[in-house]
Amino acid sequence: MVVTATARSRQETGTAHSFDVEEVRRDFPGLHQEVHGHPLVYLDNAASAQKPQSVLDALLSIYRDDYANVHRGVHTLSQRATDRYEAARETCRRSLGASRHEECVFVRGATEGINLVAHSFARPRLQPGDEVLVTQMEHHSNLVPWQMVCRQAKAKLRWIPLLEDGSLDLDRYRSLLSERTKMIALVHISNALGTINPIREICRLAREKGVPVLVDGAQAAPHSKIDVEDLGCDFYVISGHKVFGPTGIGVLWGRHELLSAMPPYQGGGEMITNVTMESSDFHVPPHRFEAGTPHIAGAVGLAAALEYVSRVGWEAIAQHEHRLLTAATRRLAAIDGVELVGTAPDKAAVVSFTVQGVHPHDIGTILDHEGVAVRAGHHCAQPIADHYGVAATTRASFAFYNTLDEVERLGRGIETVLDMFGDPNP
């Protein structure tokens, strides 16, 4: 890969730059390849994003230069690895707007963070008849764990329904919130619809009733600056692989007083202060929740990713992605037979759609032959598909490295699909 002087300085020195999409693309080696003889158009970012060179460099360097197990060692390599691992936690703290680094627990991803809170925080507090409130637009990761703990505790799972455009019915939220509500868990940005939920307002209303809120930020972290204190939530989870970092690492942020009062989720090494044959004393957070050897390189790579995006600049990212969303929405909506699924006024750059008479898997396969990578299915949010009465949709999800030319390639790809399947309105 050719790294220009400006690109190198953005990757390494942290100086702010005006946004130039072609320059940014040079930082991502994975984008520069052909698929079926066409330049790759990668529009599956909501599933997993490509990685900038600075993340690949960080992974190589922790394994090559500073690799040993963390926390337990007195030798130099172990101390260097520990320093890099803990420095990564500090970067996560800064990136999430948290006040204490002890509030950032390294987990495998958003899924593990949510399960940890469901089982360690909510489960012991839930009594029969209590209610947990989720939404109809949750990823299965933020639905199934709550179904499980509600069943165990004989608590009731309730949900805020969707309006037709894919936003939440906030009047229903107000009426569902009651003394029985013991926990709210909801997504910040929907992976299937792109809807951005009004988290600040939802947390404000929850706080008036003293109800803790977990926010699933898996899709928000790649698109916007997160500030957990400003949002007013109690728990927030992100996944590294969606925010241009490695797979198998994520962060659970939780308020210190809540984490401190929670029992461990898993037992093992690293999470104890003293062990006898009969019992153990547990570490303080975050180590209490990080049993076993952690994903050291993952944490370091995630920190490199978070530093990278903050150097690109959230303002520039938001403006560019807004242009992409507007262009993609217009281009697809203008094609006869295409129906957009999810048209909330406040949306991230995610476009889900159906094409009359063509199964999304066929669309995905034909687009792949044109070099365009999209996702087809229910996007692990089956209740959303049920709400719209469809089995599946095709989803194009954008990142800041996508271009308006790529939007056009998507549009032309859909037209090719329609040509192959015939006119939907003969």
To the nearest whole angstrom, how small is the minimum distance from the Cβ of residue 47 to ligand PMP?
6
Contact call for residues 168 and 174 (beta carbons, < 8 A): no
Q: Nearest to residue 235, comparing CAs of 92, 113, 107, 109?
A: 113
Smallest gap, in angstroms, from Cβ of residue 126 to ligand PMP?
22
Residue 397 engages ligand PMP in binding (rule: CB under 6 A) = no
Q: Could you please report the per-residue DSSP string of 55-105?
A: HHHHHHHHHHTS-S-SSS--SHHHHHHHHHHHHHHHHHHHHHT-S-GGGEE
C-alpha dihedral sign at 289, 291, 296, 302:
negative
Q: Tell me the window of 146-154, 197-205, 211-219, 314-322 that interacts with ligand PMP (CB under 6 A).
A: 211-219
List the interface residues with ligand PMP, window 142-161 (CB under 6 A): 142
- Supply the minimum distance, in Å, between the C-beta of residue 218 and ligand PMP: 4
Total of chain residues touching ligand PMP, rule CB under 6 A: 14
- Proportion of the chain in helix, strand, coil states, percent, rounded to 5: 45, 20, 40
Q: Does 27 bind ligand PMP (CB under 6 A)?
A: no
Residue 175 CB, nearest approach to ligand PMP (Å)? 25
Of 167, 104, 177, 116, nearest to 142 by C-alpha is 116
According to the binding rule CB under 6 A, does residue 218 interact with ligand PMP?
A: yes
Q: Is-catalytic flag, 104? A: no
**Does 44 help bind ligand PMP (rule: CB under 6 A)?**
no
User: Would you count residue 216 as binding ligand PMP (CB under 6 A)?
Assistant: yes
Residue 278 carries which DSSP code? Answer: S
Stretch binding ligand PMP (CB under 6 A), from 69-77, 139-147, 383-391, 405-413? 139-147
DSSP single-letter state for residue 160: E
Contacts of 299 (CB under 8 A, 6+ apart): 85, 88, 89, 92, 106, 249
Q: Dihedral (C-alpha) 317, 184, 205, 168: value to the nearest 10 degrees?
A: 60
Q: What are phi and psi of 2, to 5 degrees?
A: -90, 125
Judged by CB under 6 A, the residue of 53, 135, 136, 141 near ligand PMP is 141
Least separation in angstroms between residue 139's CB and ligand PMP is 4
Going by C-alpha positions, the residue among 191, 198, 159 that lies closest to residue 176 is 159
Report the nearest approach of ligand PMP to the CB of residue 143 (Å): 10
Tell me if 110 contacts ligand PMP by CB under 6 A: yes
**Do the beta carbons of residue 218 and residue 197 sit within 8 Å?**
no
**8 A C-beta contact, residue 52 and residue 27:** yes
Residue 366 near ligand PMP by CB under 6 A: no
According to the binding rule CB under 6 A, does residue 403 interact with ligand PMP? no
Binders of ligand PMP among residues 239 to 298 (CB under 6 A) are: 239
Name the one range near ligand PMP by CB under 6 A: 138-146, 158-166, 276-284, 305-313: 138-146
Catalytic option among 92, 104, 233, 380: 380
Element at 239 (helix H, strand E): strand 235-239
- Out of 43, 187, 211, 396, the residue judged to bind ligand PMP by CB under 6 A: 187
Binding segment (CB under 6 A) for ligand PMP, from list 103-111, 144-152, 349-357, 397-405: 103-111
Of residues 26 and 395, the one with the C-beta less far from ligand PMP:
395
**Measured from the CB atom, is 11 or 50 closer to ligand PMP?**
50
**Dist. CA 362–CA 367, nearest whole Å:** 8
Q: Which residues are catalytic?
A: 380
Residues that bind ligand PMP (CB under 6 A): 46, 109-111, 139, 141-142, 187, 191, 216, 218-219, 239, 380
